[in-house]
């Protein structure tokens, strides 16, 4: 009996040392299910034997006793957005960029990192040398003519009303995205069709106070030159057209009347 008692005491004294051999002592924290990420120690159910330090052990209930403490869930942490860059290229519809960087990578099943780069549509009307882009090089940004009355009212209220003008174009090509957009604010784009003649009005505030032109109106282009346009509200809706003539006022049907932005 004394011998058995001594053996029992020795076994009990050994328990704390065995309990300490968990994930922290082994230096293990493994992603997914990893059979090699294994130690020997106490499990959450109070049993002793092989235990794991991988993410899957929480589902299989065979984690080592200190898994939660040794391998805490840590989500990805990113910095604030940088300021927007300039346009990628002048005198055409391109994009600008802002970025952020990873401060802390996700660990132990933490939330993954969000996108680190965003792009937005952009048009730069001045070259890198500081000269104004030629009008026929600049894509026209257009929207529905339905905004015209509200624009004129605001201009009159602000005392900024100037005499505008209208430009007729014949649409040559158009992307399918113009016809397949289902948002209410893009319904007007369905009236942009190849071969149609459209009127685009230039009025304040799109009317530049110095040049007295709207950017992208095609002034300075040669006859039958293909010019580019893009619809505001759907960057995938764009195409080409030919400038026909400039008029004092627009006379197209309302569904074929648009505004320069």
Q: Any bridge partners for residue 240, and if so which?
A: 173, 228
Q: Are residues 44 and 144 in the same domain?
A: no
Q: In tens digits, what is the pLDDT along the chain, a chain of 261 residues?
A: 444 344 433 433 444 444 457 888 888 999 888 999 998 888 888 888 899 999 888 888 889 988 989 999 899 999 999 998 888 877 766 788 999 999 999 988 888 999 999 987 777 777 777 776 666 667 888 988 865 554 454 444 455 555 789 999 999 999 998 888 777 788 888 888 999 999 999 988 888 877 788 888 888 788 888 888 988 888 888 899 999 999 888 888 888 889 988
> For position 223, what pLDDT does the model report?
82
> For position 256, what pLDDT does the model report?
86
Reading the block at residue 100, the tokens are 């952020």
Cα 55 from Cα 32, distance rounded (Å): 5
**Gap between the terminal Cα atoms of the chain:** 98
| Residue 15 located in a structural domain | no
Domains in the chain: how many in total? Answer: 2
| Residue 102 located in a structural domain | no
Each residue of 223-234: pLDDT tens digit? 888 888 988 888
Q: Are residues 137 and 241 in the same domain?
A: yes
| Residue 84 located in a structural domain | no
Strand ranges inside the chain, DSSP E: 38-42, 48-52, 77-78, 93-99, 102-104, 117-123, 140-144, 165-174, 197-202, 226-231, 238-247, 257-260
Cα 7 from Cα 130, distance rounded (Å): 90
Q: Are residues 139 and 57 in the same domain?
A: no
Range of the domain at 33: 23-70
Beta-carbon contacts of residue 139 (< 8 Å; ≥ 6 apart): 92, 93, 123, 216, 227, 228, 229, 230, 238
| Residue 225 located in a structural domain | yes
| Residue 133 located in a structural domain | yes
Q: Are residues 127 and 215 in the same domain?
A: yes
Each residue of 51-98: pLDDT tens digit? 999 988 888 888 998 898 999 989 999 999 999 888 887 776 678 899
| Distance (Å) of CA 172 to CA 51, 88, 180, 194, 221 | 70, 27, 18, 5, 16
Q: Are residues 49 and 175 in the same domain?
A: no
> For position 147, what pLDDT does the model report?
55
């Amino acid at each position: 009996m004394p011998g058995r008692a001594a053996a029992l005491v020795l076994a009990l004294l050994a328990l704390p040392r065995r309990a300490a051999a968990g994930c922290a002592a082994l230096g293990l924290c493994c992603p997914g299910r990893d059979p090699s990420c294994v130690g020997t120690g106490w499990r959450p159910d109070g049993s002793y034997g092989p235990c794991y330090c991988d993410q899957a052990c929480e589902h299989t209930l065979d984690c080592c006793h200190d898994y939660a403490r040794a391998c805490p869930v840590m989500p990805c942490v990113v910095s604030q957005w940088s300021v927007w860059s300039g346009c990628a290229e002048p005198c055409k519809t391109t994009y600008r960029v802002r970025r952020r960087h990873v401060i802390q990578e996700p660990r132990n099943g933490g939330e993954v990192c969000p996108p680190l780069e965003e792009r937005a549509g952009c048009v730069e009307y001045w070259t890198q040398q500081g000269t104004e882009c030629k009008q026929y090089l600049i894509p026209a940004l257009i929207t529905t003519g339905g905004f015209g009355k509200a624009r004129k009212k605001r201009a009159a209220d602000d005392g900024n009303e100037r005499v505008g003008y209208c430009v007729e174009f014949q649409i040559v090509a158009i992307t399918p995205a113009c016809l397949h957009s289902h948002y209410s604010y893009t319904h007007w784009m369905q009236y942009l069709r190849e071969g149609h003649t459209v009127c685009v009005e230039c009025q304040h505030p799109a009317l530049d106070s110095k040049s007295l032109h709207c950017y992208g109106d095609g002034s300075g282009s040669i006859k039958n030159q293909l010019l580019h346009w893009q619809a505001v509200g759907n960057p995938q809706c764009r195409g080409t057209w030919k400038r026909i003539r400039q008029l004092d006022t627009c006379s197209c049907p309302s569904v074929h009347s648009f505004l320069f932005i």
